[in-house]
Amino acid sequence: MKNQKGFSLIELLIVVVIIGIIAAIAIPNLLAARRSANEGSAASSLRTIHGASATWQATIGNGNFPGTAGTAGITGLQELGSGNLVDSVIAAGGKSGYDFDYINYDFSVGTNPASFACTAKPDQATGITATGTRNFGIATDGVLYSEARGAAGTTNTMALAGDAATGASISGTGLTVMGQQ
């Protein structure tokens, strides 16, 4: 009996408990890092969409932005993709756990210049599987806005706004200019 080698059941249980404690500390931090990376990707994608839209307007669009004027959706993003100005993931309307919504209004003589706006909202905004905790938006002027989402979406007011007379814009009550939080 004295030649038995190996670990006792108590020693194995202690190792399992230690691994469990380490995992309980590390997993929430990993999920928070993933959410932060998704938010950075969404903000960066909106900047890419802004630049691509300006390129479209100056070249292919003859002064107008892509998409069906006055209709929100991803048509404008799809056109940017077909013009090889954004990648196929953004052109499909989502990236890194965020969904994009795009609207534009065409140039109208004596009324308004051409304009566009785009928002990015997380697919899943609450719970352990949340892909992000903020909404983002950008419009023709290039100002990137963010909006922190509250519990159960209580501050989820960011939306595409405007009309043919005033142009496309981002609206909401809790908007903050990125970099000024």
Domain assignments of the chain as residue spans, ordered by start:
9-177
Task: Please give the structure tokens belonging to residue 181.
Answer: 């939080």
Please write the tens of the pLDDT for every residue from 16-42.
999 999 988 888 888 889 999 999 999
pTM of the predicted protein model: 0.84
Phi then psi for residue 35, to 5 deg, are -60, -45
Distance CA 174, CA 59 (A): 35
Residue type, 54: A
Please write the tens of the pLDDT for every residue from 33-81.
999 999 999 999 999 999 999 999 999 999 999 999 999 999 999 999 9
